[in-house]
Structure formats: structure tokens, C-alpha cells
Structure 1
């Protein structure tokens, strides 16, 4: 987590900001704490997107739908203001690294017992998300958070709001526009076609291949984005290094035709049938090195005290923390942008 910058607000709605968690195509993400002490992640929308009526309308629809998603395998949507000058959405904060961090920087390819819990958790998350009528559209390693008791999926449905800014009147993605994350997109996303729940299953297969090997199954975009997208749409995935028991499951998810991919329910059956083949022991599902990193995450969260408690009134810290301005009262809009 990075400290707040001078142009960051101190509060968004009823949440006091503690630091920056990241920034992406939608906007910035902050670690924040409610007035009642709950730790949340607050995602704000970029100014240029907030000026687009179609985006705002779709964003409001998707946030409303996402608030219906429950279950233990997702980060719940807790609050939002889609009418604010800068729209935002608050979700439960998951104190753990992303799958991308675990594989790229902390551990490397995951062992088969860990893959089994990861796959089952992601399948159950898709069951919950699809049950609310949502297609995730951007299931990728950075949208999967790793916790001591299983994976958590974040940002479900939000990519569809971005899709609204790149769609034609017929509901298809405009030529040249890419909505999703190259390397973890389905063939139908690459071709700009309408997507269904099966698109998320393809992305799940790509995530599992990456988790098992440390590589994206269709390679990177180093040779050009169009070459990568062509491989996704027309070529078979490179599953070299995927453990043999997992080859069939991953290959089925990566079928080019949506109707040939398994449903999340069918995936769970296949995963349960594999129990015992991977020699999975009881107890922790994560390697020791990753568990140690989770401990460090927990310590960092405990150290993220309310800025009001850490900085004397009237003082400003190097991280940009400070006491709340008096202007934030009940009649004040929930967003205070940079001055």
C-alpha cells in the first residue's frame, strides 16, 4: 500500500482514506475505514469516464446488481454513490495479496493441492456471480485475492460498465476497443462479440494455467497485442507444465466454442473427482512462504491506523494524511475532489 498523495481526498462518503491500494483502467483504489471502524476498499471512477452518461448509467446498474452477490468466495459490495461528481464503490477489504503477486513475486507456480482449492473457490465464486445475473468479464490473477481460507474474487461485473463506453448501438464492442485484460480474455471478447457466463469459464481456465505454470497460456503481448489476441481466438493454449491431472480440466475451460466449456457446477464435479489424485494433505491450502506473506499483510493492516490518530491536528504527514476538514458535514457531497 502507498501513502496518500496531495491530490487525494481525505474522505470519500463516510470513509476516511488510509492509503492507495492501486490504480487501473477504472480509476484509483484506496484502503479506507468507515466511521464505525470497518476496513474497506474504495474504488473511484476516472474523470473522463464519469463524464460519459452511458458509462454512468451502466455503472449504476452493475453496482446495484453486484450488491446482490454474496457468498464466501467474493468481496461484497457494501456501499456506493453512483451519482457523485466522481462515482465510487466500496467493497469489503480482503487482507491478502493478489494471485498475480503470489505467482510472479512471492512463490512461483503453485502446487497441485493449492490449485485444487483455488479452482474450487473460483468455480464457486462464478456460481455466486452468475447467480446474480452478472458476467465478471475480467477474471484475471490481479482480480483474485489469496486469503488463509481460500481465494476471493473482486471487481465482478464492473468491467461491463467500461464495456458501455466502447459499445456500438447493437451492443457489440466497437472495432479496435479491448475490454478485458489481454492474455486473460475469451475468444468472444477478442472478437468483440456478446459474452455469456461461458466467457468467465474460459478466463478461469487461463487463470488456472497461469497459476500452475507461472506463464500465460497464450503468451504475452511482447510480439504485439494483435498477435496475442489472434492466438487466443485461433490457436491452442500452451499447457506445458500444467500437472497431468489438471490438463483435462484446463483444456475444457479453454475450448474456443463457448457451448463446449463446462459450467461452474460441472467444474466442481471434476475437481471433486480429482480429490486424492494430487495427494493433498489436510490443513493449510497454501505453501508456507505464502502463509508468511499473509502474516505480513495482516501486520501492515494493523499498522494502518486512522490518519487522525497518527497525525496531530493541523499537521500534514509525508503520506498526505491529515485531520478531516470541517467542510465534510451531512450536507456536503460525498466526494471532495482535488482543489
Structure 2
């Protein structure tokens, strides 16, 4: 089967070579079936969700259980059976782990370890087990949109998580409501499976060949990605802006169309400010929703600043003058 990876110094879609191939297992798995127990430690209990390339399971850590841990459960991610058959499948999953394990932020999912099962040669990684609704459920339940104060409690930590990722050189690549969860101890951004490092970070890390795999969700993908362009901070910005618009308004800014379809229909010309959004936030959010990358004249940091800003009221200004 063709390779799903590319290295920084090789054409897209070539087999791994050089340093990356020596340091990361790229052996094709002996069996596409996932064992019930991986590495004699992680017992698979049930499937939690399936994405474009990966599958996530609830698993019991038998070692932690043996030592009396009252909560020995983890989330275990492996590539789904289709991608597990790629000759470089293990390196594909390791790329995600190498990126996300460097992220240390309270609103980004915490990763524990990367392993390869000795019997099946299936690569897997373990991470914190998240519990709670994802934003797609919230959006479907709140079709009138969230009030401003409630919206800020979600928007700010989401933007902080993305800003932290970009600051550490990590692009997400597939921001969508189902990749954001509201847990008991706060919001979590997860699933960096389509993520990439910014230029200069981890130069030896193999990268996903986007010419062969386009697994992002079309209605959240920036126009340049749909046209075969590179993943950038601006593409992540567009995706998160679409989510924010949905949360505050209760509906997709472009009628759930792709950016390409919406641009052809000139929907950007009729985009209105959501009723619940303060006026001072609209210019920045609207800029983030621009179809063309060069027209997105803002950043995640500026969008975060606009939501954090509290304009001084007329009464406060009058009181200030008389103080």
C-alpha cells in the first residue's frame, strides 16, 4: 500500500527513509485485528469513537489496577483497520504523539505514552480519559445560540488552547466541534491526528502526506486546504472561527457549506453579526471567517484579546470623570 507520510526532504507520498525510518518502527502490522489486551497491560473495554484515521477505546490499565489505583482507566488510540495496513502506520501515529506530548496546557488533552504491541505490532498511545459532552452536542441543543457570558466561558479556553499549541509550534489541522469536549474540570481540545509542526520544529519528524489523505471535515476546512494548500495557523484560525460563530449564533456561518461552495455563492457578503455577540468583537471574528487566507487579517491571539476585552460603559466613563 502507498505511504501516507512524507519527510521534510522528500516528495509527498514516498516511503520513510533516513533518520526517521531508523528511529521509528515502520514495519507493517502482522495483524489488522486489535488484541483484547495490548502489551499485557491495557485491556480494551469498549470503543469510544472513530475518526477519519483513528479509533479511540476505553481501556483498563492492569498495572495501575494491580497497585490499587481506584481509577485505572485511560483512553487508548490506535489507527483504524484501514490505516493500520499502511507500511508506515506506526510512524503515522507516532507523529501525532510526538507533537501533542509536547503540549502542556490545561485545555489540551494530556498524553501519557506511545507503545507498539509486541504481538500484533499495532502502535497505540494512551491519554487521559475524557468524560463530558462535545461541542457538537451543545450546538445541536442550543439552536438559539449561547448568551455572551456563557459563550465566553467556552470561547476563551478554546482559543487559549489553540494559541498555546501554535506558540509551541503545533498546528491542529482538524478543529471541529466534535474535537472539543466539556469535562468536569474544564474544556479539552483533542485529536491532533491531522496536525503538523510549524517549520523548524522537530525537523526529523515524518509528516502526513495531505495530497494522499484529506481527512479533515469539509465544512470547517479553510479554502486553501480544500484547494490542496499547506496547513497553516490561518487555517486553524478559520476553523475555530466557524465553531465560535456556531456557538454564539446557533448556526453555521455559511449554511454548513464548504468554504469553496460558500464563496461561489458570495455568502461572505451577507454574513451578519450574531445577535449575542458584542459589537467590538465582530470585526475580528468576521476577519477570521474570511474565505481567502490573505484576507484573514487577524490572529488567534487577537481574537482571544477581543473576547477578553471589556469595554468601559458610559456610566463608568461618567463616574471616572467625577472621581
Once residues 263 and 115 of structure 2 are traced to their aligned partners in structure 1, the CA distance between those partners, rounded to angstroms, is 37
Alignment match, 1:113: 149
Deviation at 1:165, TM superposition (A): 6.1
Provide the C-alpha distance between the structure 2 equivalents of 1:219 and 1:273, rounded to a whole number of angstroms.
29
**Equivalent residue in structure 2 for 1:23, among 34, 42, 50:** 50
Task: Call closer, same or farther: CA 1:242–1:25 in 2, change over 3 Å.
Answer: farther
Residue number in structure 1 paired with 2:36:
10
- The equivalent residue for 1:317 is none
Matching of residue 230 in structure 1 with residue 261 in structure 2: yes
Task: Compare relative contact order (CA 8 Å, sep 6+) and give the higher one, 1 or 2.
Answer: 1
The answer as to whether partners of 1:220 and 1:228 remain within 8 angstroms in 2 is: no
- Asked whether 1:60 is paired with 2:94, we answer yes
In structure 2, the residue corresponding to 1:159 is in which secondary structure?
Answer: coil
Name the SS of the counterpart of 1:151 in structure 2.
Answer: strand
Deviation (angstroms), 1:100: 0.7
Structure 1 residue 256 displacement after superposition: 3.0
Q: Which residue of 2 aligns with 1:95?
A: 131
User: Contact 2:92/2:208 (CA < 8 Å) preserved in 1?
Assistant: no
The counterpart of 1:243, out of the listed 276, 292, 296, is 276
What is the deviation of 1:264?
A: 2.5
Query: In 1, distance between residues paired with 2:225 and 2:80?
Result: 23
Farther-moved stretch of structure 1 (92-101 vs 249-258): 249-258
Conservation of the 8 A alpha-carbon contact between 2:222 and 2:259? no
Q: Which moved more, 1:249-258 or 1:178-187?
A: 249-258
Q: Deviations over 1:163-199 (max 9, x none)?
A: 96654xxxxx35xx63311211111111110121121
* Structure 2: segments with no counterpart, 5+ residues: 1-32, 65-70, 197-205, 314-323
Unpaired runs of 5+ residues, structure 1, are 1-6, 168-172, 222-226, 278-339
- Per the alignment, residue 39 of structure 1 pairs with 73
Q: How has the CA–CA distance of structure 1 residues 39 and 269 changed in structure 2, closer, same or farther, with 3 Å as cutoff?
A: same
8 Å CA contact 1:219, 1:228 repeated in 2: no
Deviates more, 1:136-145 or 1:29-38: 29-38
Partner-residue secondary structure (3-state), 1:71: coil
Alignment of 1:301-316 (within 5 A): none
Aligned positions of 1:114-153 closer than 5 A: 114-153=150-189
How far the C-alpha of 1:271 sits from its partner, in A, is: 1.3
The aligned counterpart of 1:252 is 287
Q: What's the CA shift for 1:106?
A: 7.0
Structure 1 position 69, deviation (Å): 0.7
Pair 242,166 (structure 1): closer, same or farther in 2 beyond 3 Å = farther
Contact 2:248 2:277 in 1 (8 A): no
Structure 2 length as normaliser, TM-score? Answer: 0.69
**Following TM superposition, by how much is the alpha carbon of 1:107 offset from its aligned partner in structure 2, in angstroms?**
7.5
Q: 1:184 aligns with which of 206, 220, 229?
A: 220
Change over 3 Å in CA distance of 1:263–1:92 after alignment to 2: same
State how far apart, in whole Å, the 1-side matches of 2:272 and 2:75 are.
35
Partner Cα separation in structure 1 for residue 236 and residue 216 of structure 2: 11
